[in-house]
Structure 1
Amino acid sequence: MFTVLLICGGLVAFYLLLYVTVLRLPKCQSTTKLHGKTVIVTGANTGIGKATALDLAKRGARVILACRDESRAQAAVTDIQRESGNKEVLYMHLDLASLKSVRSFAENFLKKESRLDILISNAGGNTGIGKATALDLAGRGVRVILACRNQKKAEAAINDIKKATGSNDILFMELDLGSLKSVRAFVENFLKSESRLDLLINNAGIVKTELSRHVSLWQKVFIEPVARLLFLDPKTGAQTTLHCAVQEGIEHLSGRYFSCCAVEEVGAKAKDDAVAKKLWEVSERLSGLS
Structure 2
Amino acid sequence: MNESSLVGRHVLITGANTGIGRATTEELARRGARLYLACRSKDKTQSVIDTIRRNTPEAQLRFLPLDLGDLDSVRRCASEFLALDAPLHVLVNNAGLAGQRGTTKQGFELAFGTNYLGHFLLTQLLLPRLRASAPARIVHVASDSHFECKALDWDALRRPTRTFMAMKEYEVSKLCNILFGAESARRWRELGVHSYSVDPGTVASDIWRKIPWPVRYLMTRKMISPRDGAFSSLHCATSKDVAEHNGRYYALSGRDRAPSVLAQDATLARILWEKSEEWVGGTR
TM-score, scaled relative to structure 1: 0.64
Tell me which residue corresponds to 1:245. Answer: 237
| Runs of 4 or more consecutive aligned structure 1 residues displaced over 3 Å after TM superposition | 129-142, 179-185, 187-191, 193-197, 277-288
Distance 1:113 1:150 in 2: 40
Distance 1:214 1:285 in 2: 32
**2:268 partner amino acid:** L
Q: Secondary structure at the match of 2:87?
A: coil
Tell me which residue corresponds to 1:202. Answer: 198
Instruction: Quote how far apart the aligned CAs of 1:181 are.
Output: 8.2
Structure 1 residue 74 corresponds to structure 2 residue 70: no
Correspondent of 2:175 among 170, 173, 178: 178
Verify the 8 A CA contact 1:37 1:117 in the aligned structure 2.
yes
Distance 1:141 1:195 in 2: 6
Tell me which residue corresponds to 1:24. Answer: none
CA, structure 1 residues 51+70, in 2 after alignment: closer, same or farther (shift >3 Å)? same
Tell me which residue corresponds to 2:268. Answer: 279
Q: Please say which of residues 126-135 and 114-123 is displaced more in the overlay.
A: 126-135
Q: Secondary structure at the match of 1:200?
A: strand
Distance 1:285 1:91 in 2: 31
Unpaired segments of 5 or more residues in structure 1?
1-28, 143-148, 152-175
CA, structure 1 residues 141+80, in 2 after alignment: closer, same or farther (shift >3 Å)? closer
Alpha-carbon RMSD: 3.8
Distance 1:140 1:268 in 2: 28
CA, structure 1 residues 97+84, in 2 after alignment: closer, same or farther (shift >3 Å)? same
Among all aligned residue pairs of Structure 1 and Structure 2, give the percentage whose two residues are the same amino acid.
28
Correspondent of 2:16 among 19, 22, 44: 44
Larger Rg: 1
Correspondent of 1:84 among 52, 56, 63: 56
After superposition, the C-alpha distances for 1:136-186 in whole angstroms (9 at most, x for unaligned) are: 5558997xxxxxx999xxxxxxxxxxxxxxxxxxxxxxxx85159846863
Instruction: Quote how far apart the aligned CAs of 1:198 are.
Output: 1.4
Unpaired segments of 5 or more residues in structure 2?
97-113, 133-151, 155-172, 279-284
Instruction: Quote how far apart the aligned CAs of 1:225 are.
Output: 5.4
Q: Please say which of residues 258-267 and 45-54 is displaced more in the overlay.
A: 258-267
Correspondent of 1:190 among 176, 187, 192: 187
**1:204 partner amino acid:** P
Q: Residues 1-290 of structure 1 correspond to what in structure 2 (within 5 A)?
A: 29-124=1-96, 125=114, 127-138=117-128, 178=175, 182=179, 186=183, 189-190=186-187, 194=190, 197-216=193-212, 219=213, 221-224=214-217, 227-228=220-221, 230-266=222-258, 269=261, 276=265, 278-279=267-268
TM-score, scaled relative to structure 2: 0.65
**1:224 partner amino acid:** Y
Considering fraction of residues, name the structure with more helix: 1
Verify the 8 A CA contact 1:32 1:59 in the aligned structure 2.
yes
Distance 1:186 1:280 in 2: 6
